[in-house]
Structure 1
Amino acid sequence: MGIRQMLADYSPFNAQEEKDRELMLRYLDQFDDLFRRENEFAHFTASSWVVNRERTKVLMVYHNIYQSWAWMGGHMDGETDFLATAIRETKEETGVEQVTSLSQELFSLEILSVDGHDKNGKQVGTHVHLNLTYLLEADEMQQTSIKPDENSAVAWMGLDEALAKCSEPYMRIIYAKLNDKLNRMQ
């Protein structure tokens, strides 16, 4: 299924998702290549909200650029399989070897602003991520490891603890939404 159909079929959870879906569809009409970061205004990314089997904890990384506890995710870099990207990024950023998608369906969507920053000695301009999020599950007993060029810690934490430890105000709102959606599933 193509991105346009996936977005058209998605049922927004709240006003934020409704507006962001509308904008994503509009951007698809206005921009040639939203699947590569070479589009310096906006590009698609995929993220994961990784929970334990009991759905009481979430796996987070301490992100070096943002100096905050965060979910895992990354750029599509020309790929069009969002779920595969979310799983790949989760494994790369946390070191977990086994992670399972709880659904092939999109769990959440959001447009996220990214402030300009230096990455590996190169300036990255302010832009937005057109982000699609998937709900994944992993065994919290698996060994984890950091990805030194991106994060400096990996930890399981309670759902509320993940909100408290996140230092980015808008991301706390997004993570609260994800927790709310998770809790409504149970």
Structure 2
Amino acid sequence: MSLHDNAVLVLKDYEDQEELRQTYLDHLSVHADGMWKACEAGHVTASALVVDPERGRVLLTLHKKLNLWLQMGGHCEPGDATLAAAALREATEESGIPGLTLLPVGPVRLDRHAIPAPCHWHLDVQYAALAPEGAVAEISEESLDLRWFAYDEVAGVADESVVRLMERTRAAL
């Protein structure tokens, strides 16, 4: 099964955000390359919010290009077998934490956001990843900073999409 096919199945099974979910499915039905960065009409991305529920905190990265505190995530790569695998790969690479595990509920939410040209949209499929006990984060080349934030601190540093992702993640725990 191709990554494109996996994304379609994941989105068909996703039972929330109906209008946005349909936007993603429509995009993939028209764009055979809709999973890849090269698709200038927009492309599906995968991300994961890294959480440490024992300590009531989330790990955010200060994105190098956007200078915003965000969850870990990014573009799908040819070696990614599934959207979940892409999200887990991105979270592991950007957090430096081995042994992350995705919540078994599948995607936690969807977020469509505009990005600078030449592409127009990221159609982000957002997961949640549990940090193992004693996890130590290590900053990657893609980040300006990497920091744990208590749940109640997130709204003061991140935008609404990250706050909504955190709320949906906490509800799924």
CA distance in 1, matches of 2:94, 2:64: 12
From 125, 130, 133, the counterpart of 1:137: 130
Aligned-partner Cα distance in 1 for 2:6–2:41: 22
Aligned-pair CA distance for 1:77 = 2.6
CA distance in 2, matches of 1:76, 1:21: 18
What amino acid maps onto 1:138 in structure 2? A
Q: Distance in 1 between matches of 2:129 and 2:119?
A: 29
Distance apart, 1:37 and its partner CA? 0.9
Q: Does 1:101 align with 2:119?
A: no
Preserved CA contact (<8 Å) 1:47 1:131: yes
1:26 deviates by 1.0
With structure 1 as the length reference, what TM-score do the two structures score? 0.81
1:152 aligned partner? 144
Percent sequence identity over aligned pairs? 28
Paired residue for 1:182? Answer: 169
Paired with 1:127 and 1:140, the residues of 2 have a C-alpha distance of 39
Partner SS, residue 104 of structure 2: coil
User: Once the two structures are superposed, what CA deviation does each residue of 1:114-168 show, in whole Å capped at 9, x if it has no partner?
Assistant: 124xxxxxxxx242111111111003632222112x11211111123122112xx
1:109-120 superposed matches below 5 A: 109-116=110-117
Do 1:53 and 1:139's aligned partners in 2 also have CA atoms closer than 8 Å? Answer: no
Q: Deviations over 1:74-108 (max 9, x none)?
A: 11133341111111111111211121112152211
Deviation at 1:184, TM superposition (A): 2.9
Partners in 1 of 2:62 and 2:91 — Cα distance?
Answer: 13
| 1:134 alignment partner AA | Y
User: 8 Å contact 2:64–2:144 — kept in the other structure?
Assistant: yes
On the 8 A contact 1:101/1:136 being kept in 2, the answer is yes
Gap runs ≥5 in structure 2:
none
Query: Which residue in the other structure is 2:88 paired with?
Result: 87
Distance 2:169 2:52 in 1: 12
